[in-house]
A and B are shown apart, each in its own frame.
Chain A
Amino acid sequence: GENVEQHPSTLSVQEGDSAVIKCTYSDSASNYFPWYKQELGKRPQLIIDIRSNVGEKKDQRIAVTLNKTAKHFSLHITETQPEDSAVYFCAASKGGSYIPTFGRGTSLIVHP
């Protein structure tokens, strides 16, 4: 089955800095890569996703890049704000049933 590795497990940055979270996946058939944000005590919520037919997608301060050859994808957050503090999960899934396999999560802490 699919295996998703996520790094780092904890990331601490100053407000205004950029943050990068990296994930690798094992199944070359995976073609959908969502990122979820989970604030403390809250439900995970989708913040951005990318499909395998594109290499990069951007939405305001967040962007995701995908390298299919290397089987890795990354989340980039620019101009971080304290409200970006949360746990971020990457995931990978295949079309058809879209059952994602999640990474272990990255706890992002943005210091004011």
Chain B
Amino acid sequence: ETGVTQSPTHLIKTRGQQVTLRCSSQSGHNTVSWYQQALGQGPQFIFQYYREEENGRGNFPPRFSGLQFPNYSSELNVNALELDDSALYLCASSADINTGELFFGEGSRLTVL
């Protein structure tokens, strides 16, 4: 069984740039969530996708957008990067929208200069 994988693991961008982060969900999982984890903080919910449709969104501006593909992999796009976007971005998949356990990837560490 393949776990959740994310790419890239680390990246550095400058203010105003755009970034795309990618996530492959665990085999058999149809629900993907994205979280932002600032240093020393708990994960903050960005949005969730279920069967290619956005199912919920946290308190993040529209420049944070996402997609889920037919194979249930997903990507997170952030436009017009700001310094405060520097964080660890975690992707988590779950077997179905009605199951509680999240399986996290290792994360993508984004630094915005």
Interface residues of A (CB under 8 A from B): 1, 4, 6, 32, 34, 36, 42-46, 49, 89, 91, 93, 95-105
Please report the number of residue pairs spanning A and B whose Cβ atoms sit closer than 8 angstroms.
61
CB-defined A-B contacts under 8 Å, sample of 9: A4-B42, A34-B102, A36-B104, A43-B107, A97-B97, A98-B97, A98-B99, A98-B100, A99-B45
Q: For the complex, give the distance between the alpha carbons of A105 and B59 in Å.
A: 20
By a CB distance below 8 angstroms, the chain A residues around B101 are: 34, 46, 49
Residue of A nearest to B55 (CB): A97
Per the bound structure, the CA–CA distance linking A45 and B3 in Å amounts to 12
B105 — which chain A residues lie within 8 A by C-beta? 43
Q: Evaluate contact between B90 and A44: CB separation under 8 angstroms.
A: yes
Tally of contact residues, B, Cβ under 8 A: 26
Q: Is the CB of A103 within 8 A of B97?
A: no
- A105–B98 contact, CB under 8 A? no
